[in-house]
């Protein structure tokens, strides 16, 4: 299990990924400890070995191994299903949203270099004059490193060609399927070919009223 998540959080992630009810999942784990094997939806849970305080669990889907990890007997004796405490958490919630084609919106302070499939809502602060660059595809393109913000911070957003004229200063935009990278030591958000930039809200026009 990566990222040093707790066993409850990891099981909540598996529950979301394989559409397994958390209560049924928890019950199947306890049943596997008693009967060596139990089924839950499309998953089969096997107890590979036991010690005084834990069991080794193997989860398979058909012939495919899903996961293998130890579970303490104390965890299985919990009166309240501990998996449910993590349903909708950072891993389980993101997994469910991804399956539904609706990635959860992040905040600027959450962004890290190397992240992909980023969904973000922000306000446009600056759009510098575009410059002409020669791309690796052998053609020229216009690019502008706009500055966007939310309640947690600011970051540069790389805009190309028609993206530059699609938004204005003060617009509230929704970014989908973007990625984070570093260019010349500075972090920036990029919208790939499969990404999407939507204009959610434009600033109200200023109306000047002349005195009679």
Per-residue model confidence as pLDDT tens digits over 181-195:
888 888 899 987 778
pTM equals 0.49
* Angle of the 22-35 helix axis to the 7-17 helix axis, nearest 10: 110
Question: How far is the C-alpha of 98 from the C-alpha of 5, rounded, in Å?
Answer: 19
Class of domain 105-201: mainly beta
Which segments of the chain belong to CATH 2.40.50.140? 105-201
Mean pLDDT of 33-52: 92
Question: Residue 115 pLDDT more than 90?
Answer: no
Please report the pLDDT score of residue 211 as a whole number: 38
What letters, b where the CB count within 10 A reaches 16 and e where it falls short, cover 178-202?
A: bbbeeeeeeebbbbeeebebeeeee
């Amino acid at each position: 299990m990566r990222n040093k998540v707790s066993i409850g959080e990891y099981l909540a992630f598996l529950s979301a990924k394989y559409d397994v009810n958390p209560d049924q999942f928890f019950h199947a784990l306890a049943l596997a400890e008693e009967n060596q094997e139990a089924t839950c939806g499309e998953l089969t849970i096997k107890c590979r070995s036991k010690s005084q305080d834990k069991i080794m669990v193997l989860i398979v889907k058909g012939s495919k191994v899903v996961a293998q990890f130890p579970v303490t007997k104390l965890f299985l004796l919990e009166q309240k299903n501990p998996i449910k405490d993590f349903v909708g958490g950072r891993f389980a919630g993101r997994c469910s949203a991804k399956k539904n084609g609706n990635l959860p919106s992040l905040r600027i302070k959450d962004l890290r270099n190397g992240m992909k499939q980023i969904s973000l809502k922000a306000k446009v602060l600056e759009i510098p004059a575009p410059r002409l660059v020669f791309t690796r595809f052998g053609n020229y393109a216009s690019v502008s490193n706009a500055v966007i913000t939310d309640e947690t911070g600011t970051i540069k957003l790389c805009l190309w060609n028609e993206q530059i004229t699609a938004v204005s200063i003060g617009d509230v935009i929704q970014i989908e399927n973007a990625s984070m990278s570093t260019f010349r030591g500075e972090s920036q958000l990029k919208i790939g070919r499969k990404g999407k930039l939507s204009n959610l809200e434009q600033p109200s026009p200023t109306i000047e009223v002349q005195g009679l």
